[in-house]
Structure 1
Amino acid sequence: MADPRRIVIVGTGLGGASAAGALREQGYDGELLLVGEQRHRPYELPALSKGILLGDTDEPDWVHDESFYAEKNVDLRLGTRVTRIDVAGRSVEIDGKAEPWDRLVLATGSTPRRLRVPGHDLDNVRRLRRLDDARTLREELTEGREIVIIGAGWIGCEVAAAARKHGANVTVVDVVSQPLHRVVGDTIAGVFRGLHEANGVTFRMDSGVEEFVAENGRATGVRLEDGTVLPADLVLVAVGAYPRTELAQEAGLALSDDGGVQVDETLRTSAPDVFAVGDIAAHVHPRYGRRIRVEHWANAKDQGAHVAQNLLGGTEPFAASPYFFSDQYDLGMEFRGLTDPFHDDLVVRGDLSAREFIAFWVRDGALQAAMNVNMWDDGDTLQALVDKRARVEPAKLVDADLASLMG
């Protein structure tokens, strides 16, 4: 495989910017174009629903210093849309002009889903994805305002915590029975529900939304399917995201059943010299033996850094375990691995009621995932145990020195 003279990266989020940085770190000195629609230079997303909303910072974690792109000769084009990929002609179209590439990386990320009910496009029905969204939303989470959050996933719960810190009244609505239910199952979901209720959040679970009630072009309430109307000064819709695969689909790249872009173990798509990373990448994971697609920030960062070596001729599989973290009120947690909480066995070490514990999910004697909550001493050990899918007896997960389980 000849060394590429020009690499184009579509997407100026964490995955794309991490790939650009890793290419320069690995000595690639050819032309490098990093292009995307957002107007801010590349940044990481976690602070948007955490530090920025809480008021702890005005800035996200920038992927690189502002001077990096000029110093490393990265052609960074912000606020710029790629309208077409020509795989056969090895080019992308920008403003009607064909930009050639020898290797191409798609890092187009995802976009929040809309709730397609009457009133979904009202001015104060918001979604949270970009830096400007977070800054605007923070200004509206003020004392006494009625905030309705549709969706009790990680984003919904983190925004609820921030809103309560600012003194807003918060109601969270979801069609499932518990917050975070699909991710952590009933028992751990109950811990998070108790945490939020202790901090004044009201839940309306097992509830669908019928419409957003409007007056003068703004939502004034949320009508549930049972007819109840929740008063609302502001509504946040946090019902998940979908991968932005339009360019890939139009270019004829193979897509996965979940709508992502199919990539192999090395993050290569079905087209020669085209790779995909981050939210859109449906990746054949060597550890799990199947295709997975992960939307967490660490996955975008790690895949972006990893793909650089394969762009330059490597064939190294991407094998990192999924990882994410969350901070809500005085609860901090880290989650490693991949689990099905409705089929895996839950083992708890520590005290659920004190919110100081480690939750393990075990399948057929092998550790699938671990979540440490307000316990920080064993992070590296947990990572190693999850990475090797350690075979452990549940009783030892509860009582034994965790490092001794490495075998």
Structure 2
Amino acid sequence: MTRIAIIGGGVAAHTTLKSYLAAAGGDRDPSTDTVDIFTTEPHAPYRRPEVNKGMLLTGKTPAEVALPGGILTEPGVTLHLSTVVTAVDPAAHTLTAGDTTYAWDRLVFATGAGPRLLDPTTNPWLADRDVHYIRTPEHSAALRTRLAGLAPTDTVVVVGGGVLGLEAASAAATLSDAQVHVLEMGDEVCARMLPPTASRWLRDRHAEHGVTVTCGLDAAALAAQIDRLDPTVVVVSVGAVRDTMLAEDAGIAV
């Protein structure tokens, strides 16, 4: 008997399940060799990059960008949607979700990462503004609806000139009539990923589509730019933070 618990419902969780089922093959007894997948989202695993590309830009639904779902209906596999795991006990080999305790023999943390949230106390320009972060389909749907209602007199500011920030700016320029600005603290957009020539090319392509990109800003200059632009909508895309709190609370070194 092997009871596997997977915390997280993204690509890593889906890949873990797929690999386990393939490795187990016909030796697995679904009545005793079980897999429980716990995800805080109300959706089955989907392709995360599509949150920006497909969902925000074209309005696709999570079902339209879902990962192959056949393995999720295999005997002995249970997908727990909208379920928050609140505690893990490595010594007892249990986890708690809601009012239920689940026993496990093997535990996989596939919790991924979330957007880096800016602290309003050190970034006062966030106050009283319509600020959006993008990670889930719900985030994309809310921003897509907001952008569609903007007028030419409105302004969208994207804080962060990485891949996701530029994708958000492109979507804003496509979906709305608003003026779109990207504010980046680095010397160039996507500077950590691309050589300078490629970064400049990417910035020029956005400029051709009406997006104004300003780089090389320190914190004070960034705040001044936002105060000057007085944006209707702010999209923050300044990196990601690993979601390791649950593991750390369980005393697991990460």
TM-score normalised by L of structure 1:
0.55
1:104 aligned residue (99, 103, 107)? 107
How many angstroms apart in 2 are the aligned matches of 1:87 and 1:227?
A: 47
Q: Residue 43 of structure 1 contacts residue 63 of structure 1 at CA under 8 Å; is this kept in 2?
A: yes
Does residue 236 (structure 1) correspond to residue 235 (structure 2)? The answer is yes
Does residue 7 (structure 1) correspond to residue 4 (structure 2)? The answer is yes
**Aligned partner letter, 1:231:** D
C-alpha displacement of 1:163: 1.4
SS in 2 for 1:224: helix
Does residue 182 (structure 1) correspond to residue 192 (structure 2)? The answer is yes
SS in 1 for 2:73: helix
- 1:297-316 equivalence runs, <5 A: none
SS in 2 for 1:184: coil
Map of 2:160 onto structure 1: 151
How many angstroms apart in 2 are the aligned matches of 1:125 and 1:227?
A: 12
How many angstroms apart in 2 are the aligned matches of 1:107 and 1:122?
A: 35
Map of 2:13 onto structure 1: 16
Map of 1:91 onto structure 2: 94
CA-to-aligned-CA distance 1:148-175 (integer Å, 9 cap, x gap): 0000000001111111122432100111
Does residue 45 (structure 1) correspond to residue 42 (structure 2)? The answer is no
SS in 2 for 1:105: strand
How many angstroms apart in 2 are the aligned matches of 1:192 and 1:113?
A: 24
1:141 aligned residue (133, 141, 147)? 147
How many angstroms apart in 2 are the aligned matches of 1:118 and 1:112?
A: 19
Q: Residue 61 of structure 2 contacts residue 137 of structure 2 at CA under 8 Å; is this kept in 1?
A: no
Q: Residue 112 of structure 1 contacts residue 240 of structure 1 at CA under 8 Å; is this kept in 2?
A: yes
SS in 2 for 1:9: strand
- Percent identical residues: 29
SS in 1 for 2:194: helix
Distance 1:22 1:198, change over 3 A: same
- 1:2-401 equivalence runs, <5 A: 5-26=2-23, 27=25, 28=28, 29=30, 30-55=33-58, 57-59=60-62, 60-65=64-69, 68-116=71-119, 117-118=123-124, 120=126, 122=128, 124-142=130-148, 144=152, 145-166=154-175, 167-209=177-219, 224-225=223-224, 229-255=228-254
SS in 2 for 1:141: helix
How many angstroms apart in 2 are the aligned matches of 1:137 and 1:146?
A: 14
Normalized per residue, the structure richer in strand is: 1
CA-to-aligned-CA distance 1:47-104 (integer Å, 9 cap, x gap): 1111222226334521233x65334431111111111111111111222433111111
The higher-RCO structure (CA 8 Å, 6+ apart) is 2
SS in 2 for 1:183: coil
**5+ unaligned residues in a row in structure 1: which ranges?**
211-221, 256-407
How many angstroms apart in 1 are the aligned matches of 2:82 and 2:125?
A: 29
**Aligned partner letter, 2:155:** E
How many angstroms apart in 1 are the aligned matches of 2:54 and 2:218?
A: 30
How many angstroms apart in 2 are the aligned matches of 1:229 and 1:72?
A: 59
Map of 1:258 onto structure 2: none
CA-to-aligned-CA distance 1:297-333 (integer Å, 9 cap, x gap): xxxxxxxxxxxxxxxxxxxxxxxxxxxxxxxxxxxxx
Distance 1:182 1:190, change over 3 A: same
C-alpha displacement of 1:119: 5.2
How many angstroms apart in 2 are the aligned matches of 1:250 and 1:53?
A: 34
**5+ unaligned residues in a row in structure 2: which ranges?**
none
CA-to-aligned-CA distance 1:353-384 (integer Å, 9 cap, x gap): xxxxxxxxxxxxxxxxxxxxxxxxxxxxxxxx
How many angstroms apart in 1 are the aligned matches of 2:191 and 2:206?
A: 14
Distance 1:18 1:226, change over 3 A: closer
**Aligned partner letter, 2:182:** V
**Aligned partner letter, 1:187:** T
Q: Residue 24 of structure 1 contacts residue 72 of structure 1 at CA under 8 Å; is this kept in 2?
A: no
How many angstroms apart in 1 are the aligned matches of 2:15 and 2:126?
A: 34
Q: Residue 16 of structure 1 contacts residue 107 of structure 1 at CA under 8 Å; is this kept in 2?
A: yes
Q: Residue 152 of structure 1 contacts residue 174 of structure 1 at CA under 8 Å; is this kept in 2?
A: yes
C-alpha displacement of 1:224: 2.2
Normalized per residue, the structure richer in helix is: 2
SS in 1 for 2:45: coil
Distance 1:227 1:44, change over 3 A: closer
Q: Residue 54 of structure 2 contacts residue 60 of structure 2 at CA under 8 Å; is this kept in 1?
A: yes
**Aligned partner letter, 1:160:** A
